[in-house]
């Protein structure tokens, strides 16, 4: 019987420093053994292990359309993420996954999609965006609202520049407070969401810090999005990722196996979800 607690090995292929303060780094991992390669969909996550330092869950930032790598963006904030930041290209790490459910990309087919993200939580949203751009003709209008505290804290800045050039994608970038030289939007994500005249017949995916999600979802309702067409991804403490350690339990759900992706309709039935 396969032991789902045993990670397989991946090699750090490339490291990108995302922010000048070096708190955000992205790691491209390549498979050491081809047999370990797995299929996944945007929104799923993995448990990322470093020998002797522990294991933490991270959303997969790469898209299934990007061959042979897995991408993770990690904010340096605790003991495991600190160790991840010390990694060098060529180092070996442990991965368990794919875990959890995914954004309902099948339901999105032929439909307009709005993506709303905040800060370094844009990871699985990148996966979703790159996936939809990779199957561009399957989807209608794609609109992105992406906010960060300041211009330095956007992740995937080079790709954002590429996305801005595209005419098949509308991108609204916003920062919390005005900064000299910033000529895009200013204001918190919920406020900007209200201002950019989104089409409530679209499907909508929201991911960001807990506080951002909490204040953005009601705004979407106000605009007229039905609960069942709004999706978000929840963050919780997790140890196992397979519904056993108990920590991510909310109501009668486990975020790791019943989520992390939930519709607003489902979330409203779980008292402590937001």
Partner 1 sequence: MRVLKLSKKDEKKLYDVLNKFGEVWAPVPKGSRYVYDKIEKKEDLVSYNEFVRTILPIKKFLMPQDFNILNLSPSKFETPKVDIPTRVIVGVPPCEIHALNILDKFYTTDFVDNYYMERREKVIIIGKSSLPDEYLFSHKTNTSIVEEGYDLFFIDLGDYYLVWVGSEKGDDIVRLGSDIFSEDVPVDVAHDFVAYREKRRKAFTKHIDLEGVTDLMELMYDADFWDEFGEKCLSCGQCTMVCPTCTCFNVIDELELNKDEGHRRRYWDSCMFKDYSLVAGQHNFRESRAERLKLWYTHKLKAFIGHFGSPSCVGCGRCIITCPVEINVETVVEKLKG
> What are the residues binding partner 1 (CB under 8 A)?
1, 3-7, 9, 49-56, 75, 77-78, 81, 92, 94, 209-210, 235-237, 239-240, 242-247, 249, 251-253, 257, 271-272
- The nearest distance, CB 111 to partner 1, in angstroms, is 30
Q: What is the distance between the alpha carbons of residues 116 and 80, in angstroms, rounded to a whole number?
A: 28
Pick the closer one to partner 1 by CB: 136 or 244: 244
Phi/psi for 101 (5° steps) reads -95, -170
Phi/psi for 55 (5° steps) reads -135, 140
Pick the closer one to partner 1 by CB: 194 or 236: 236
Q: What is the distance between the alpha carbons of residues 126 and 42, in angstroms, rounded to a whole number?
A: 8
- The nearest distance, CB 47 to partner 1, in angstroms, is 10
Pick the closer one to partner 1 by CB: 54 or 104: 54
Pick the closer one to partner 1 by CB: 28 or 47: 47
- The nearest distance, CB 35 to partner 1, in angstroms, is 15
Pick the closer one to partner 1 by CB: 224 or 251: 251
- The nearest distance, CB 242 to partner 1, in angstroms, is 4
- The nearest distance, CB 179 to partner 1, in angstroms, is 22
- The nearest distance, CB 94 to partner 1, in angstroms, is 6
- The nearest distance, CB 51 to partner 1, in angstroms, is 5
Pick the closer one to partner 1 by CB: 38 or 182: 38
């Amino acid at each position: 019987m396969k032991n789902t607690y045993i990670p397989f090995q991946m090699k750090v292929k490339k490291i990108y420093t995302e922010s000048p303060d070096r708190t955000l780094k992205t790691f491209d991992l390549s498979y050491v053994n081809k047999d370990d390669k797995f299929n996944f969909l945007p929104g799923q996550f993995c448990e990322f292990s470093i020998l002797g330092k522990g294991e933490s869950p991270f959303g997969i930032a790469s898209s299934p359309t990007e061959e042979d790598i897995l991408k993770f963006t990690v904010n340096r904030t605790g003991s495991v993420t600190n160790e991840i930041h010390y990694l060098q290209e060529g180092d070996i790490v442990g991965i368990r996954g794919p875990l959890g459910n995914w954004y309902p990309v099948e339901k999105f087919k032929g439909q307009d999609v709005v993506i709303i993200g905040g800060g370094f939580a844009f990871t699985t949203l990148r996966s979703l965006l790159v996936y939809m751009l990779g199957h561009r003709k399957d989807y209608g209008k794609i609109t992105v609202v992406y906010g960060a505290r300041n211009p330095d804290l956007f992740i995937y800045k080079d790709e954002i520049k590429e996305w801005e050039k595209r005419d098949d994608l509308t991108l609204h970038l916003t920062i919390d407070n005005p900064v000299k030289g910033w000529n895009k939007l200013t204001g918190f994500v919920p406020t900007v969401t209200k201002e950019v005249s989104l089409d409530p017949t679209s499907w909508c995916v929201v991911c960001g810090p807990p506080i951002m999600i909490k204040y953005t979802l009601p705004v979407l309702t106000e605009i007229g999005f039905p609960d069942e067409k709004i999706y978000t991804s929840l963050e919780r403490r997790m140890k196992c990722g397979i519904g056993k350690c108990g920590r991510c339990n909310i109501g009668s759900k486990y975020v790791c196996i019943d989520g992390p992706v939930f519709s607003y309709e489902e979330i409203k039935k779980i008292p402590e979800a937001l």
